[in-house]
Structure 1
Amino acid sequence: MAVGTSKRNGGQPKVKAQTPSKALPVTLLSGFLGSGKTTLLQHILKTEHGLRIAVVVNDIGAINVDASLIKQTHRLTRTEEKVIALQNGCICCTLRGDLLEELLRLAELEQFDYIIIESSGISEPEQVAETFDKRLAEQMSAVAGGPEGLDEDMVKVLKRLKAAGGLEKFARLDTTVTVIDAFTIYNDFETDDMLSSRREDVQPEDERTVSDLMVDQIEFADVIVLNKMEMVDTKMRARIRDLLSKLNHRAKILETSYGKIEVREIINTGIFSLERAQTGYGWLQDLHAMTLRQVRGCVAVNGKKVITPKPETEEYNIRNFVYTRTRPFHPRRLFKLLHDKFIMQLEVPDDDDDDDDEDDDSDSAMDSDASSSSSDSPSDTDMADDDDDPLDMPPNATILRNKRASPIFSRLFRSKGEFLLATRPHRAGEWSQAGAMITLAGGRPWFCTLPAEQYMTGDAEVDRLVRFDMENGGEWGDRRQELVFIGEGLDVRGLEAVLDGCLLTDEEFGAWEGVMRDGGLDDGKRVEKMQELFDDGFPDWVEDGELEDGDGHDGHDHGSHAHHHRH
């Protein structure tokens, strides 16, 4: 069968009217630019494995496989990306319209045994995987009505999906695979590169970083193909495997050179589960394991103890631990600890007041460098009388040098979780660090601020864990610091000490509790009082409207897995 470069050009068989007899299994292949993903695809297309495979790619030119070398049972096609935003435009309700059209077309042809989707090197695999979510059918009625800008063909596809009962009747996601370059993985953890600096197909305003995307691709994979192993020695191979197993406990790791693997290792495995993938991140599993041991009474909980995951052989000294405390962080001291050792990505609310020059200057400073801006350090008014400690953010190159030189943070590859700021007692902060980059943003409301019916699930085991969080915090409920750290040769006690140094002192904590107990204050006034007591130079957290109008998004996670880790 000849190589095709279009979905609906001349000579293609006419689409059938009926639903296919079976859903085609799909492997989603991710990997960063240069990882060897294209070489792996070439290997699949030229290998005798007895399957008729259709490969769907974003850039057919990049594959560069001579048509005569492709098995006659295969087909290589490309897609032109169509992204369709559904309710609220949130990530979890964004459809890859191009994939929907192509998957339906290939399934209806009934000429193939399998589909491999080569995800763009800049794609987050979870977003593509959610296209296969069964809950997608529930969104069809609204979309099929013809949202603005949706072409007629796409409306027909969505109506067809709705009538059939969802995409699962045509295609099902079987395996997610990520290809990693063994030679560059450590360098990619230490870079400050934005995706836009490495790829011409990334918009300049895209603020994602190389290290963040690489971690996303590693953590979501069912299978990790560790490529270019011929370029690293035996000791480095073991170090990389140990690191990957800590980042993703559940993934199968295949070592290879030049993308040569047994094809059946990544197709027809039947191992993909969206729920399992979204709860299978290494850091999330560490939190869950720690909580189960706490609930079962295996660990004394006093708010001042490092809880490590279950003991493992640490031959190559890649280790992980969970930092838990019930006392809030002082915002200024936390900022001081992090601002010159990590490139900080801080949440900045949209500013609609174009006449406010000061705000415009602050926002433009943030926009000009997505990774950091001195305008987001503790405010100028707070710092005017403290010239010795301005906490201005250094240049990125200086931050990278500082991190590499730090005995505490130099080999910290990943940290993730929730944190409690003294000045923001009603809402959890989300902490996400990958390599030199760290993102601190607003997350869920603490459960203790909500009516029980909004967070109790009816699942006895889940609700037991939630109740444990609430009871463990005593008067202050589930408010806490709960952060997982994964690194090589980590000085756990040293890391614990510097984080403890950011907590409120006894005197400060007494003042904080006094404000919290003042029944004459509403939430707004209480926050104002806290800000008078403790300098807070972090930008305001964007209010998450989805937390208030979650109807129609049952079970979806809008940008944060941290607040679902008990589930």
Structure 2
Amino acid sequence: MPISFNFGPENDPELLAQRPKTPVTLLAGFLGAGKTTLLTHLLDNKHGLRIGVVVNDLASVNIDSQLLRHDHGQHGQVEVAELQNGCVCCSSAEDLFSAVQTLVMRSKDHPFEHILVELSGVGDPQAIRDNWALAMECQLPAALLTCLARVITVVDASSFAHDWQDTRKALLRNEAVVHDSRQHPGRSQEMVGQLLANQVELADVLIVNKCDLASDNEPQSTLHVLQALNGTAEICQTHFGRAPAERLLPLVPFGLRPQEAGCEKGYSWTQTAREIQIRMPIEEHVKGKDIECVVRKRASTLGLKCREVVAGTLAGEVCGDAIFEIEGCPERQVLLCLEKKEPGMWNHLWKQSAPSCGHQHCNGHCLEEKLRRADEVKPKFQSFTFERRRPFSSKRLQRLLEQWQDALSSDCEVLDMGCCALKAVLRSKGFAWCDGEQVLHKHRWQSAGRCISCCSEDYWWHHLSEEQRRFRCGNPGAETEYRELQKKWHVDWGDCRLELVFIGAEMDQKTIVELLENCLLTTSEFEEFKEKTSRMKVPRSEFSIGKLFGKLEDNAQVSAEDADTQLLRSLGVGCSLREAAEFEAVD
């Protein structure tokens, strides 16, 4: 089913927003970590839950989906949708929503309690989150009927610690990345390192798998890195992916899993998508004239004239009058059949409020038990933030990054400038302000193990004109980001800054800070930098309508700038910023 914005009045966004959302769990992890094994184990131990599965594979033939469909799809409790020849984080992002949309729309009358999405080995959970946020903003039904509830990342206890220090072996294990590495070898290794870090940092649950294949020290080394990168995630050590399903899957939202039958004092009931049946036992001497039955659109009463047994406000609307009948001998009972006005499963026979915990119990057990943490003692990690309002010298910074790389592959005895202190850094990330060719651009700083990079990204907001800022605010989430910057807006440099976070064990913070400060522009260099950037402007072509929709005709009666402005304002882009007060700048 292709993605569409028109699904009829019954799927109006306001109506969909009121329905309980199916929780979506992302299964992430590098190639060979054991994601499919874990997925298979969860499906084998789903305890009656209806689960939709989306399998993403970069190969031309999706073997995983075929195996899952053969083993589980035939039982009716699992539906499998497959994606292939692309990663749902980028080129096949639309296919992911199409697959999820197909699952949720096909099962509207009996929705899934969970949807599991197995990402490819190079899948980045953050990209999925960003795509989901965009889909919510566009009010796609697939996003309105679901929520990203949990990220489970699987790591290989026998190889993760080695991959973290040296990504070359991990690179060779993934054919899709190998193909790219032939063209950009350095960039591909950096990508693998950052990918491993992102998959761990964004996880709500970390599965340390293949512990049976690891040596004595490998699980502890893996835990050491995982706890440094993500100290809040629950950690579960397993082999063959044997983790308890009730501890991994998120809670089923109240109202999502309807009750198909019930037994109350004096009566019982069952339901299908189209009908409700209520049964009331009666004594042998009771006749039809002794039975009192009243059915309205949203209410029902059933009992004997001497006593009322079944009464209340129904959870949904029924059609017209209903006829009861007496059946059974010698155990007699009254059978009352109610036809639902709209097909679909009700949460319960009667209208009722949600349980105080906010979730529906599954099989008599509320899934609130959390994962066990590893028994090993946590190592003592520390972190610090390096913040400055002065840019780096690109040349000196490049020299430091090269020395950092050397430090990770050399003994401290052969290093100078105290670079051995950088060996204690497990992870660093943030924003960098640099001189050089991309002086108007923000730089993304990341290090993960031996993978270190500082690459230019978007322009700093400070260097954009007012109209360019309004244009950028049309991107999902950009306006919120822009308004958040007022907390750190500088009177002279706006959002331009250095903001780096370092994480490690027993780091020499003083020495690392000195190394970074030595890379800053000197006072005289900073003055030259100010003069240089004062004459530079971001090209209009970077934020023009002409770049998006093609160049304007030569005989256009309005200028390109006026056309851009008129179209932007007609679309409402940046409208809320026109009357916005100036930011309260900080020194």
* TM-score normalised by the chain length of structure 1: 0.57
Tell me which amino acid in the other structure corresponds to 1:412: V
Superposed, 1:2-401 pairs within 5 Å as 23-47=21-45, 49-58=47-56, 61-62=63-64, 67=70, 72-75=75-78, 77-81=80-84, 96-110=93-107, 112-133=112-133, 135=135, 138=138, 166-193=141-168, 197-202=172-177, 204-205=179-180, 207-208=187-188, 209-230=191-212, 240-241=222-223, 243-269=225-251, 316-342=379-405, 401=409
Distance 1:523 1:38, change over 3 A: same
Out of 498, 514, 518, the position equivalent to 2:515 is 498
SS in 2 for 1:407: helix
What CA deviation, in whole Å up to 9, does each residue of 1:114-150 have, x standing for no partner?
2211111121123334443364563xxxxxxxxxxxx
Out of 446, 460, 466, the position equivalent to 2:485 is 466
SS in 2 for 1:204: helix
What CA deviation, in whole Å up to 9, does each residue of 1:404-434 have, x standing for no partner?
9852232422211111223455332221222
* Aligned equivalents of 2:493, 2:94: Cα separation in 1: 45
Tell me which amino acid in the other structure corresponds to 2:55: V
- Name the % identity: 27
Which one has the largest radius of gyration?
A: 2
Moved more, 413-422 or 194-203: 194-203
* Aligned equivalents of 1:505, 1:511: Cα separation in 2: 10
> 1:460: Cα distance to partner?
13
Structure 1 equivalent of residue 373 of structure 2: none
Structure 2 equivalent of residue 445 of structure 1: 459
* Aligned equivalents of 2:117, 2:520: Cα separation in 1: 47
Assess if the C-alpha contact under 8 Å between 2:407 and 2:423 holds in 1.
Answer: no
Q: Does 1:415 align with 2:415?
A: no
Structure 2 equivalent of residue 489 of structure 1: 506
| Structure with greater contact order relative to length (CA < 8 Å, sep ≥ 6) | 1
SS in 2 for 1:205: helix
* Aligned equivalents of 1:194, 1:17: Cα separation in 2: 53
* Aligned equivalents of 2:234, 2:220: Cα separation in 1: 15
Q: Which has the higher strand share?
A: 2
* Aligned equivalents of 2:421, 2:78: Cα separation in 1: 51
Tell me which amino acid in the other structure corresponds to 2:391: P
Tell me which amino acid in the other structure corresponds to 2:30: F
* Aligned equivalents of 2:512, 2:201: Cα separation in 1: 24
Assess if the C-alpha contact under 8 Å between 1:218 and 1:244 holds in 2.
Answer: yes
Tell me which amino acid in the other structure corresponds to 2:447: Q
> 1:36: Cα distance to partner?
1.9
Gaps of 5+ in 1: 1-6, 9-14, 86-90, 139-161, 272-313, 343-397, 528-540, 556-567
Distance 1:523 1:247, change over 3 A: same
What CA deviation, in whole Å up to 9, does each residue of 1:440-473 have, x standing for no partner?
22234334334679499999998896345334xx
* Aligned equivalents of 2:496, 2:144: Cα separation in 1: 44
* Aligned equivalents of 2:543, 2:132: Cα separation in 1: 25
What CA deviation, in whole Å up to 9, does each residue of 1:385-420 have, x standing for no partner?
xxxxxxxxxxxxx78624998522324222111112
Assess if the C-alpha contact under 8 Å between 1:103 and 1:170 holds in 2.
Answer: no
Distance 1:70 1:46, change over 3 A: farther
Assess if the C-alpha contact under 8 Å between 1:225 and 1:255 holds in 2.
Answer: yes
Structure 2 equivalent of residue 157 of structure 1: none
> 1:78: Cα distance to partner?
4.9
Distance 1:71 1:431, change over 3 A: same
Distance 1:477 1:80, change over 3 A: closer
SS in 1 for 2:103: helix
Assess if the C-alpha contact under 8 Å between 1:195 and 1:202 holds in 2.
Answer: no
Distance 1:200 1:484, change over 3 A: same
Distance 1:98 1:82, change over 3 A: farther
Gaps of 5+ in 2: 182-186, 254-376, 549-563, 575-587
> 1:233: Cα distance to partner?
8.2
Moved more, 218-227 or 59-68: 59-68
Distance 1:459 1:202, change over 3 A: closer
Assess if the C-alpha contact under 8 Å between 1:83 and 1:98 holds in 2.
Answer: no
Assess if the C-alpha contact under 8 Å between 1:426 and 1:449 holds in 2.
Answer: yes
What CA deviation, in whole Å up to 9, does each residue of 1:344-394 have, x standing for no partner?
xxxxxxxxxxxxxxxxxxxxxxxxxxxxxxxxxxxxxxxxxxxxxxxxxxx
Distance 1:501 1:262, change over 3 A: same
Distance 1:23 1:83, change over 3 A: farther
